[in-house]
Amino acid sequence: MIRTRIAPSPTGKDVHVGSISTALMNFAWAKKNKGQFIVRIEDTDRTRLVEGGEKKMLETLEEIGLHADESPLVGGPYAPYRQSERLEIYKKHVEGLVKKGSAYYCICSPQRLDEMRKKQQAEKKIPKYDRHCLKNQEEIKKKIARGEKYVVRLLIPDKEISFKDLIRGQITVSGSNLDDQVLLKSDGFPTYHLGVVVDDYLMKITHVIRGEEWLPSTPKHIILYEAFGWSLPAFAHVSLLRNPDKSKLSKRKNPVWTSDYLEKGILPEALLNYLSRKRYFYS
Ligand code: GLU
């Protein structure tokens, strides 16, 4: 069964019109294949949440006709579909990675990380965590047991990471260029990378179709899938919706929220039709 999804973050007043374009591709691919289209809310960045944003987003998707088979509104077998309600799931999974040696605890202070980064920049090196805590894991575990705040980091293997993108072909990056990504934050919330991989796997997503701005994150996701021992979904990174001059849509220059268009009287069907046909506007 083909299962696609969109995973918007409620950090604006509504769904970005570019996200509608990506949602449409996910919806169309699922429906063409008699599959299912899922909406999952990625609300783990608590500092950027916009009050009422999630409700408006779900309503707009319905209004425009991109009905979800599973979502916070309609439920489904893998509920809840809101990441903030799935914290125990991420914690359990990340602890499994620590046990396997694929991730490690880190208690470095923001000040230490800041100094480290400045020093690396001054030396013209790629800013990367220096694995200070990796060497002292037993000691750090004791400190954590005593209540010290911590994050969990992914141990990036020193090898080439390769995957196939359905649109862009084979992509290969060197692990030595990647930072030991934080997976679990000190507030107990997962980062995007942990949440997205765990949920796409558990929710049986077969095709991850998303904007090209997420392409640089995918090698980290591949490492995570491998560390968990999970098979990969298919990946397709689609071009962003752009202005005729190829510049990015920006809140300062363009109406970017879907409701901005609907409130002007543009019919939902007309907007969907436009987004599906205007290939010229894609980079
Ligand atoms: N939460 C991400 C967003 O806001 C999802 C990216 C993805 O589809 O993996 O777009």
Known active-site residue 143: no
State which ligand 1 atom lies nearest to the alpha carbon of 8.
4
In sequence order, the β-bridge partners of residue 165 are 169, 235
Q: Considering the chain, what percentage of its residues have pLDDT values greater than 70?
A: 98
The residue whose CA is least distant from atom 10 of ligand 1 is 8
Q: Tell me, what's the pLDDT at 279?
A: 58
Q: Residue 253 pairs with which residues in a beta bridge?
A: none
What are the tens digits of pLDDT across the range 89-123? Answer: 999 999 999 999 999 999 999 999 999 999 999 99
Separation between Cα atoms, residue 165 and residue 171, nearest integer Å: 7
pLDDT at residue 281 greater than cutoff 80: no
- Which of 11, 192, 194 best tests ligand 1's pocket when mutated (most atoms within 8 Å of CB)? 192
CB 13 within 8 A of CB 53: yes
CA of 8 to the centre of ligand 1 (A): 5
Q: What is the pLDDT of residue 259?
A: 94
Catalytic choice (149, 251, 253, 278) = 251
- The reported pLDDT for the residue numbered 283 is 46
Residue nearest ligand 1's atom 6 by CA: 7
Is pLDDT at 54 greater than 70 in this prediction? yes
Asked whether residue 171 carries a pLDDT value surpassing 90, the answer given is yes
Domain architecture of the chain: domains with CATH: 3-84+239-282 (3.40.50.620), 88-161 (3.90.800.10)
pLDDT tens digits along 207-228: 999 999 999 999 999 999 999 9
Average pLDDT over every residue of 115-142: 96
Task: Kindly indicate the confidence band of residue 246, based on its pLDDT and cuts at 50, 70 and 90.
Answer: confident
Angstrom CA distances, 119 to 98, 122, 176, 277, stand at 29, 5, 19, 49
pLDDT digits (tens, 9 = 90+) for 263-280: 999 999 999 999 988 654
Q: Is 106 in the pocket of ligand 1 (CB under 6 A)?
A: no
Q: Which of 210, 212, 237, 241 to mutate to test the pocket of ligand 1 (most atoms within 8 A of CB)?
A: 210
Pull the structure tokens for residue 64.
């425009």
Residue 233 CB burial class (10 angstroms; 0-12, 13-18, ≥19): buried
Tell me, what's the pLDDT at 245? 82
20 neighbors 262 (Cβ within 8 angstroms): no
Taking residues 31-56, what's their average pLDDT?
96
Atom index in ligand 1 nearest the CA of residue 6 equals: 8
How confident is the model at residue 50, as a pLDDT? 94
